[in-house]
Amino acid sequence: MVWLLVFLLLQLADFATTFIAFKLGGSEQNPLILGFIGAFGQQGLLIAKVVVIIGGTVLALASKYRALRIASIVFVGVVLWNVVAIVRLAGLVGK
């Protein structure tokens, strides 16, 4: 269940960094998440995260830890991408 905890923490980090990027004037780049935002407004990001968390929980309950590890690695990249976007949007480095 360690991988589920890692996955959940990464979802929280993704939500937080995406939210911060939005506040700094950034925009969502993932077309799936854009669909949720288009359908549900600002709450679409939260709804999308809930759906992803449910999916990760199902993987853990089904003992699909390899898939959960791969998803976690992907979300490490997503969170890092968000942090870079935040740094740029905040004007801390050149664009």
20, 81 Cβ separation under 8 angstroms = no
| HSE-CB of 11 using CA atoms within 13 angstroms | 21
94 falls within a domain: no
Q: How many domains is the chain partitioned into structurally?
A: 1
Domain annotation covers residue 41: yes
**pLDDT tens string 31-81:** 999 999 999 998 999 999 999 999 999 999 999 999 999 999 999 999 999
Residue 95 domain-assigned (yes or no):
no
Exposed/middle/buried for residue 19 (C-beta within 10 Å: 0-12, 13-18, 19+): middle
Neighbours of 73 (CB within 10 A): 11
Q: Is residue 57 part of a domain?
A: yes
Q: List the domain range (segments joined by +) for residue 35.
A: 2-89
- pTM of this structure: 0.90
Q: Which of 40, 38, 50 is nearest to 11 (CA)?
A: 50
**Percent of the chain's residues with pLDDT above 90:** 93
